[in-house]
Structure 1
Amino acid sequence: MQHFLISTLVFFLLLSPNCNAQQPQKPSSVAIYNQIQKLNFLGSVLYIAAHPDDENTRLISYFSNETKARTAYLSLTRGDGGQNLIGPQLRELLGVIRTQELIEARKIDGGEQLFTRANDFGFSKNPDETLEIWDKDKVLADIIFTIRKFQPDIIINRFDHRTSGNTHGHHSASAILSVESFIKANDSKVFPEQLSLVQTWQTKRQFFNPSWWFYGSQEKFDAADKSKFISMQTGVFYSLTGKSNQEIAALSHSCHQSQGFGSTGNRGEETEYLELINGELPKDKANLFDGIDTTWNRVKGGKSIGELLSKIATEFDFKNPSASIPDLAKAYSMMQTLDDNHWKTLKSEEIKNTIAACAGLYLEAVAQNQEATPGSLVKLKLEAINRSATEMQLVDVTTLPNQKSIPQNLVLKNNVLQNITLDLQLPTTIEYTQPYWLKDKGTEGMYTVTDQKNIGIPDVIREAKVVFNIKINEIEIPFERTVVFKYNDDVKGEMYNYLD
């Protein structure tokens, strides 16, 4: 039965349009400018709830696009127990669909997506039942691992930890475990086995995000006492993109197609409410990060990086983004000298994407065939083109996971395409393409994931990649690309899939 399920899932992954690779992003000047602004904000928010579609996309979009904070949604489950309005898939196959729906939603609202090993086993009457069917200690461990890895300054719960039995048991359980994690994530005696991969972390503030749903109707919520709540005006208009925060949130929420959650965006003023659960209230209630250093000053040796990034943002030329490349490359080089691995790693990846966008640097690794087997040889066609006046050199390319480096030493002249063919030897030990959380048999309430470092990863793990090592102003910068397969469809044009 397990073999049949895995075979079905692999077949589903190959055919499902939700699981296809996407075309490489080609950001506009406005998107690049927003990326540069985010480079200079070192703060993070973690939103926690039980299921796909429980998240408040208005808040996620607001923190990501207005505040510029790193923002993520931790859904404890993948939604296997829900309905499906768009097809016959249920249980594990539905969980795969809803996983992809969440990933697509985050691409729109600017957040990141995370999960635990908890399985949506269907409706639960109360959190006690939920925590019994789930393995409470394992789900708690996963939440704490996520907090220690993500290092949020602020945690926001969608549900109230004090409403046992008044709502879906999964909902209350998600809040109960989140509240319990607030202190325990900073205790080295709690799940010490995690500390080889992450460090203890103390979040500064934790909130509950109430809405009219908890009061039974909008009228009752409007009449309720909100004196203990913080109010946030989230109905902002992003003039550079031409969308309101609510319009972005509606597009994100509408990704939950299997649940019939299509949403129409609105415009104008809108208020979100937060109730403090743990930590101290910010003195400036209009700024949840008040009292939290979100500048590069929070990183030892980071002050000069922040100053340089401020200069880049101030001098950014929307008509010529490539003018920012020399300073961006310098900022990347400065980041590599930092001792702080957390922000160093995150911001290094962000700034590499920004450099590539400013240069119109297009790097791609395409397999000749979509399918391969462990131990086989995959023929690749690489494309590299620099579409800017900035001098660049392709020093070498490295294929993964076999770690084979091939020297190139090619000058990437402005708008001159370089095509390279090479072979990728897949190891005999490479994993078959499948949702990693379904590889081993789980229980009614839990997926089985034996590798700690994989817990929380949202999508299928793909190992076939190519690293392009590019030299800019004598600074070598590695750009990693996942191997894809693409073809031309007579109706839809260029289509992308992953190498599976």
Structure 2
Amino acid sequence: MRHYLVLLIGLLLSLQSVLAQVPKKSTSSDIYHSLQKLNFLGSALYIAAHPDDENTRLISYLSNEVKARTGYLSITRGDGGQNLIGKELRELLGVLRTQELLAARSVDGGKQFFTRANDFGYSKHPSETLEIWDKEAVLGDVVWVLRNFKPDVIVNRFDHRTPGSTHGHHTSSAMLSIEAFDLVNDVNAYPEQLDKVSLWQPKRLFFNTSWWFYGSPENFEKADKSKMMNLDVGVYYPMKGLSNNEIASIASSQHLSQGFGRLSSRGSQDEYIELLSGDMPNDKSNIFEGINTSWSRVKGGDAIGKILIAVEENFDFVNPSKHLPELLEAHKLLVNIEDDHWKRIKLNELQDIILEVCGLYLEASSTVPNAVPGSSVKINIEALNRSNAA
């Protein structure tokens, strides 16, 4: 077992980036949260047009409360917007807003995706938008993201049924999502992608509606909600010391160039999602109801799940390293499962947890800020095992 651990840690360390970064230091609560997400095999993708279009409350809820692997697909990088904090515009603004999106995802726990679409400024109608974007190319990008990320559920920020009533980019993002939902499992759609990704079929597609789309809270109150789910995303996370709404506010406030700061709020917060495709869950508060998100989802996963669920249920917050033998045993089983998609995802998650429970601290620092090829640089290396793992 010790020999296996040494080999595994050596491999993991060899894969670490050499770019300057602060070593990650996880608390027991962080490790436990990662373990909970490790034991959830389900994915959700949120789709909208621009940076700051995303609903960080829902993204954070899906990632932190549901424990789903959650992503946001921004069709553009927002390079057609304004900049309240600097002189960067167009392409440079797109670079800036890309970093703001990545910063937001580092807060709410989501992953970030883009297409090649250019944010060319305000558009009155999706027909104009899709012509300028080159619809077929951008649609192919959306299909690629779906085939690569493989979401079980998709949530659109905007309504595809109201062309001309709002920004053309907004409506277009929803229209592309609707079309991609039906194409992603079609072998004749973008077949050149299938050398690198496989066909996929999401189970459900939703529209993240609200009273705003109905003109007033009164109109929304009267609306037919038979195809809507109501999610209370105002939950509190004791291990984080923050509510979901507070996390969402911090994430949204990363969009500094747009002056998008938002005050934190606490307490109940309803989010409505309208079913567009797929089956309606019997439990209208559980977006994954009826979808297998357990380890039994993958062939050979039952034995892995038995080990990891037991670790989660009996997690030792005082001495997480005591779980190392079970985690290593699960790792041995996981490397042999046939499902390449979940194997890749869950191996990365499990390997991170193994390093974290070991309490390893590894840092390499230079005595000089820069160097040129051929010169010598003195490197200070600090390697410390701060746990009882041997």
Read off the aligned partner of 1:270 and give its amino acid letter: Q
* 1:113 aligned onto 2:134: no
Alpha-carbon distance between aligned partners in 2 of 1:197 and 1:65, rounded to the nearest angstrom: 30
Q: 1:381 to 1:132 in 2, by over 3 A?
A: farther
Aligned to 2:142: 143
Moved more, 140-149 or 228-237: 228-237
Aligned partner of residue 329 in structure 2, secondary structure: helix
Q: Is the 8 A contact 1:368 1:378 kept in 2?
A: no
State the TM-score, normalized to the length of structure 2: 0.91
Q: Is the 8 A contact 2:227 2:280 kept in 1?
A: no
Task: Give 1:378 shift.
Answer: 7.9
Aligned partner of residue 278 in structure 1, secondary structure: strand
Alpha-carbon distance between aligned partners in 1 of 2:168 and 2:382, rounded to the nearest angstrom: 51
Alpha-carbon distance between aligned partners in 2 of 1:215 and 1:202, rounded to the nearest angstrom: 31
Alpha-carbon distance between aligned partners in 1 of 2:260 and 2:89, rounded to the nearest angstrom: 17
Alpha-carbon distance between aligned partners in 2 of 1:87 and 1:218, rounded to the nearest angstrom: 37
Alpha-carbon distance between aligned partners in 2 of 1:21 and 1:179, rounded to the nearest angstrom: 41
Alpha-carbon distance between aligned partners in 2 of 1:378 and 1:161, rounded to the nearest angstrom: 59
Q: 1:151 to 1:369 in 2, by over 3 A?
A: farther
Q: 1:241 to 1:367 in 2, by over 3 A?
A: same
Question: Could you give the per-residue CA deviations for residues 373-423 of structure 1, whole angstroms, max 9, x where no partner exists?
Answer: 7x76785554432211212xxxxxxxxxxxxxxxxxxxxxxxxxxxxxxxx
Task: Give 1:215 shift.
Answer: 2.7
Aligned to 1:60: 59
Q: Pairwise mapping of residues 290-329 of structure 1 onto structure 2 (< 5 A)?
A: 290-329=289-328
Structure (1 or 2) with the greater strand fraction: 1
* 1:131 aligned onto 2:148: no
Q: 1:318 to 1:303 in 2, by over 3 A?
A: same
Q: Pairwise mapping of residues 294-443 of structure 1 onto structure 2 (< 5 A)?
A: 294-366=293-365, 379=377, 381-391=380-390
Moved more, 22-31 or 95-104: 22-31
Task: Give 1:126 shift.
Answer: 0.8
Aligned partner of residue 230 in structure 2, secondary structure: strand
* 1:86 aligned onto 2:85: yes
Read off the aligned partner of 2:43 and give its amino acid letter: S
Q: 1:207 to 1:377 in 2, by over 3 A?
A: farther
Question: Could you give the per-residue CA deviations for residues 7-29 of structure 1, whole angstroms, max 9, x where no partner exists?
Answer: xxxxxxxxxxxxx9652221111
What runs of 5+ residues in structure 1 fail to find an aligned partner?
Answer: 1-19, 392-500
Aligned to 2:167: 168
Question: Could you give the per-residue CA deviations for residues 161-206 of structure 1, whole angstroms, max 9, x where no partner exists?
Answer: 1110011111000000000000100011111111111000000000
Task: Give 1:363 shift.
Answer: 2.8
Task: Give 1:367 shift.
Answer: 5.7
Alpha-carbon distance between aligned partners in 2 of 1:283 and 1:24, rounded to the nearest angstrom: 44
Task: Give 1:289 shift.
Answer: 1.1
Question: Could you give the per-residue CA deviations for residues 319-374 of structure 1, whole angstroms, max 9, x where no partner exists?
Answer: 1111122211221221111111111111111111111221221234446666677x
Read off the aligned partner of 1:320 and give its amino acid letter: N
Q: Pairwise mapping of residues 231-242 of structure 1 onto structure 2 (< 5 A)?
A: 231-242=230-241
Alpha-carbon distance between aligned partners in 2 of 1:368 and 1:279, rounded to the nearest angstrom: 58
Task: Give 1:228 shift.
Answer: 3.0
Q: 1:128 to 1:382 in 2, by over 3 A?
A: farther
Q: Is the 8 A contact 2:51 2:98 kept in 1?
A: yes
Q: Is the 8 A contact 2:115 2:141 kept in 1?
A: yes
Q: Is the 8 A contact 1:155 1:206 kept in 2?
A: yes
Alpha-carbon distance between aligned partners in 1 of 2:371 and 2:170, rounded to the nearest angstrom: 41
Alpha-carbon distance between aligned partners in 1 of 2:117 and 2:286, rounded to the nearest angstrom: 33
Q: Is the 8 A contact 1:212 1:220 kept in 2?
A: yes
Alpha-carbon distance between aligned partners in 2 of 1:102 and 1:378, rounded to the nearest angstrom: 38
Q: Is the 8 A contact 1:105 1:255 kept in 2?
A: yes
* 1:260 aligned onto 2:259: yes
Task: Give 1:52 shift.
Answer: 0.3
Task: Give 1:73 shift.
Answer: 0.3
Name the count of aligned residue pairs: 371
Aligned to 1:39: 38
Q: Is the 8 A contact 1:367 1:378 kept in 2?
A: no
Q: Is the 8 A contact 1:42 1:295 kept in 2?
A: yes
Task: Give 1:214 shift.
Answer: 1.9
Aligned to 2:27: 28
Aligned partner of residue 385 in structure 1, secondary structure: strand
Structure (1 or 2) with the greater helix fraction: 2
Aligned to 1:199: 198
Aligned to 2:281: 282
Read off the aligned partner of 1:182 and give its amino acid letter: F
Identity percentage of aligned residues:
57
Aligned to 1:154: 153
Read off the aligned partner of 2:256 and give its amino acid letter: Q
What runs of 5+ residues in structure 2 fail to find an aligned partner?
Answer: 1-18
Q: 1:273 to 1:320 in 2, by over 3 A?
A: same
Q: Is the 8 A contact 1:71 1:112 kept in 2?
A: yes
Question: Could you give the per-residue CA deviations for residues 229-248 of structure 1, whole angstroms, max 9, x where no partner exists?
Answer: 11111111112222111111
Alpha-carbon distance between aligned partners in 2 of 1:390 and 1:57, rounded to the nearest angstrom: 38
Alpha-carbon distance between aligned partners in 2 of 1:50 and 1:326, rounded to the nearest angstrom: 46
Moved more, 306-315 or 217-226: 217-226
Task: Give 1:257 shift.
Answer: 0.8
Aligned partner of residue 303 in structure 1, secondary structure: helix
Q: Is the 8 A contact 2:45 2:151 kept in 1?
A: yes
Alpha-carbon distance between aligned partners in 1 of 2:219 and 2:368, rounded to the nearest angstrom: 59
Aligned to 1:473: none
Report the aligned-residue RMSD.
Answer: 1.8
Task: Give 1:225 shift.
Answer: 3.8
Question: Could you give the per-residue CA deviations for residues 270-294 of structure 1, whole angstroms, max 9, x where no partner exists?
Answer: 1110111111111222211111110
Read off the aligned partner of 2:231 and give its amino acid letter: M
* 1:72 aligned onto 2:71: yes
Q: Is the 8 A contact 1:246 1:267 kept in 2?
A: yes
Q: 1:138 to 1:359 in 2, by over 3 A?
A: same
Question: Could you give the per-residue CA deviations for residues 107-159 of structure 1, whole angstroms, max 9, x where no partner exists?
Answer: 11111111111111111111110111101111101100000000000000000
Read off the aligned partner of 2:64 and give its amino acid letter: N
Q: 1:309 to 1:216 in 2, by over 3 A?
A: same
Alpha-carbon distance between aligned partners in 2 of 1:187 and 1:311, rounded to the nearest angstrom: 40
Q: 1:382 to 1:254 in 2, by over 3 A?
A: same
Task: Give 1:224 shift.
Answer: 3.7
Question: Could you give the per-residue CA deviations for residues 51-104 of structure 1, whole angstroms, max 9, x where no partner exists?
Answer: 000001011011101110000000011110111111111111111111111111
